[in-house]
Amino acid sequence: MARAATTSDVFNAVAEPRRREILIFLLDRERPVSDVVEKMRLDQPSVSKHLRVLHDVGLVRVRRNGRHKLYQTRAEGMKPLHEWAAIFERYWGRQLLRVKERAEQMARAGETVTGKR
């Protein structure tokens, strides 16, 4: 099965660690490219490429303010990631519940063997 293009798939876009860092950096407010360049310590063309990928898959919004472009994370763009991760959250929730139930069962069995309560 062929991989989806990075520019059209949220999962591939966030597979790049620097893009994940950019998303976190842009979470609380709009920022110009220069702020991202400074924070990430990358050259401007590299940051612009990452921002373009994130924008193309709907993970960041961009707004023009004069000559500057301001970027901010679009939390609603994370929905496919959240829904996918929720599958594993439910799985681990069930697994932890089974561990808890087993531990409680073993504790009760230990109480009856020792005769203590």
Task: Give CA–CA dist 18/105, Å, rounded.
Answer: 46
| Domain ranges, ordered by start, for the chain | 6-73, 78-114
CATH of 6-73, one of 3.40.640.10, 3.30.365.10, 1.10.10.10, 3.40.50.150: 1.10.10.10
Return the closest-CA partner of residue 35 out of 23, 45, 25: 25
- Which pLDDT score, from 0 to 100, does residue 1 have? 47
pLDDT in tens, 3-53: 445 556 899 999 999 999 999 999 999 999 999 999 999 999 999 999 999
pTM for this predicted structure = 0.71
